[in-house]
């Protein structure tokens, strides 16, 4: 059974989703995640895809979709895949991947035309306003006003300040403290309190104290979301929360209060982009084989369809030339009078018939044609009505923003700086 692979590249992790079978709801996805420690995430994604495709457990993958956020990331991903000699893949816009997955699982209603995608990851928050049917991104912005790394740092500062934990003495101790703070944050998404022991001291935090720490940055991200919606000029129909930060209850409640929109939180918000990219993955024909003496593709070469080699073509050409020569020789022997005396003798023995007067024509009588058969009785014609075309998608709604007020300043009057834009 063939399978597909979807990949998303984030600041903290490369996420991969494999799916077998034509029905994503019934078959489900298998997930993989690789942490980005240092360097570009695109290079890590390309290496991870190559390793995954070479494994025996994933030999049936025949298509790969890689989601990208913008033109810069698309170019970086394309270069990274070329360095790994990977060619059977498609670059998929993140917005299109999200819409594809939400539609496949039935989380979008028939009137949901304009979507607000709020993606809260480790490095920041990304907001996009997307047209569901054209898949166009109407407005977009990214900011570091909120993010998972910032939340972890706020927890660490609070623990050092209020609980008297010993400050880390080196980078390894600092990394361990932030890692335990990250685990505490994730636990507070489903429980009321978190308790994590460690070398630097006990991390103890409840949900109320955590929400007090992150409320200001989350409200700043909600303000950013409203600004992006206003820039799009559309009236949104639904809000979609993505990324690991979408699991935080405070994020869900504050965004609903600020935007007053129906909200969708997928079961795995951090895997939505990778799973949607898998749904949009289709096979790509590999490029032509590299010339002899050069380095050809290292991964996926066993899936190529090689044509005849140069030596095979040369042997076939010589054989064809020999057949043509033999055919020409036979044609000459059959038509040369000097080399074919029998043919010449047969030609001289041909006798012409004597010229005689043709006999008079014989008169024949043509019988009259039979009378035409009576026309069959008209049968009733059954009219088959063609099915009605599907209804068009709902029209988008636009924001009713007031026009800007224009004031003319009399000549000779200077306004202070900052009052004129």
Where is the domain boundary, 195, 211, 227? 211
Do 92 and 31 sit in the same domain of this protein? yes
User: Which has the higher per-residue pLDDT, 383 or 215?
Assistant: 215
Do 153 and 103 sit in the same domain of this protein? no
**Mean pLDDT across 120-133:** 96
Q: What is the CATH number of the domain that holds 201?
A: 3.90.640.10
> Given the structure tokens 């917005």, which residue do they identify?
95
The answer to whether residue 7 sits within a structural domain is yes
**pLDDT, position 210:** 97
**pLDDT, position 363:** 46
**pLDDT, position 243:** 96
Where is the domain boundary, 227, 257, 286? 286
Residues 6+ apart with CB under 8 A from 140: 126, 127, 128, 129, 228
The answer to whether residue 34 sits within a structural domain is yes
State the residue range of the domain holding 198: 148-211
Give the residue among 48, 52, 68, 72 at the shortest CA–CA distance from 60.
52
CA distance 172 to 65: 36
CA distance 41 to 29: 22
User: Which has the higher per-residue pLDDT, 225 or 409?
Assistant: 225
Do 89 and 168 sit in the same domain of this protein? no
- Direct distance between the N- and C-terminal alpha carbons of the chain, in angstroms, rounded to an integer: 62
Q: Could you tell me the CA-to-CA distances from 221 to 43, 89, 146, 166, 250 in Å, in that order?
A: 30, 34, 6, 32, 12
Q: What would the pLDDT profile of 24-79 be if each residue is shown by its tens digit?
A: 555 688 989 999 987 789 999 999 999 998 886 777 888 999 999 999 999 999 99
Where is the domain boundary, 211, 241, 256? 211
The answer to whether residue 123 sits within a structural domain is no
Torsion angle of the four alpha carbons 280, 283, 284, 289, in this order, in degrees rounded to the nearest 10: 160
DSSP for 281-312 reads ----PPPPPPPTTS---SSSGGG------HHH
User: Which has the higher per-residue pLDDT, 105 or 19?
Assistant: 105
User: In this structure, are residues 291 and 261 in contact, taking their beta carbons and an 8 Å threshold?
Assistant: no
Do 92 and 1 sit in the same domain of this protein? yes
User: Which has the higher per-residue pLDDT, 222 or 290?
Assistant: 222
In the three-class reduction of DSSP (H, G, I as helix; E, B as strand; rest coil), residue 238 is classed as strand
**Mean pLDDT across 305-332:** 39
The answer to whether residue 346 sits within a structural domain is no
What DSSP character marks residue 384?
P
The answer to whether residue 51 sits within a structural domain is yes
User: Which has the higher per-residue pLDDT, 173 or 200?
Assistant: 173
The answer to whether residue 385 sits within a structural domain is no
Do 68 and 164 sit in the same domain of this protein? no
Number of domains present in the structure of the chain? 2
**pLDDT, position 199:** 84
User: In this structure, are residues 114 and 234 in contact, taking their beta carbons and an 8 Å threshold?
Assistant: yes
Q: What would the pLDDT profile of 79-93 be if each residue is shown by its tens digit?
A: 999 999 999 999 999
The answer to whether residue 154 sits within a structural domain is yes
């Amino acid at each position: 059974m063939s399978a597909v692979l979807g990949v998303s590249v984030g600041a903290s992790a490369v996420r991969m989703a494999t799916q077998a079978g034509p029905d994503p709801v019934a078959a489900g996805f298998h997930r993989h995640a690789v942490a980005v420690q240092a360097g570009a995430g695109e290079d890590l994604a390309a290496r991870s895809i190559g390793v995954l495709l070479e494994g025996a457990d994933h030999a049936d993958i025949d298509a790969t979709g890689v989601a990208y956020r913008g033109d810069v990331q698309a170019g970086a991903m394309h270069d990274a895949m070329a360095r790994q000699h990977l060619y059977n893949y498609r670059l998929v816009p993140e917005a299109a991947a999200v819409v594809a997955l939400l539609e496949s699982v039935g989380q979008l209603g028939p009137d949901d035309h304009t979507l607000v995608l709020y993606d809260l990851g480790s490095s920041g928050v990304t907001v996009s306003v997307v047209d569901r049917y054209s898949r166009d991104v109407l407005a977009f912005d990214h900011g570091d006003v909120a993010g998972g790394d910032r939340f972890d740092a706020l927890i660490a500062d609070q623990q050092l300040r209020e609980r008297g934990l010993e400050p880390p003495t080196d980078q390894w101790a600092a990394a361990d403290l932030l890692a335990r703070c990250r685990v505490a944050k994730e636990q507070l998404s489903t429980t009321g309190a978190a308790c994590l022991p460690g070398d630097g001291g006990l991390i103890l935090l409840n949900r109320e104290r955590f929400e007090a720490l992150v409320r200001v940055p989350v409200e700043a991200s909600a303000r950013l979301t409203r600004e992006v919606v206003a820039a799009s000029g559309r009236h949104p129909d639904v809000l979609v929360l993505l990324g690991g930060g979408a699991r935080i209850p405070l994020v869900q409640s504050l965004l609903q209060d600020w935007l007053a929109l129906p909200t969708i939180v997928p079961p795995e918000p951090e895997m939505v982009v990778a799973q949607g990219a898998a749904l949009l993955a289709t096979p790509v024909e590999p490029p032509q084989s590299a010339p002899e003496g050069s380095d050809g593709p290292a991964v996926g070469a066993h899936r190529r369809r090689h044509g005849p080699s140069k030596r095979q073509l040369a042997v076939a050409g010589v054989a064809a030339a020999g057949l043509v020569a033999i055919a020409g020789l036979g044609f000459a022997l059959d038509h040369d009078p000097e080399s074919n005396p029998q043919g010449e003798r047969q030609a001289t023995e041909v006798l012409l018939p004597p010229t005689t007067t043709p006999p008079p024509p014989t008169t024949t009588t043509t019988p009259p044609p039979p009378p035409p058969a009576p026309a069959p009785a008209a049968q009733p014609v059954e009219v088959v009505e063609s099915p009605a075309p599907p209804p068009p998608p709902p029209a988008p709604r636009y924001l009713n923003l007031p026009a800007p007020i224009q004031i003319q300043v009399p000549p000779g009057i200077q306004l202070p700086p900052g009052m004129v834009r």
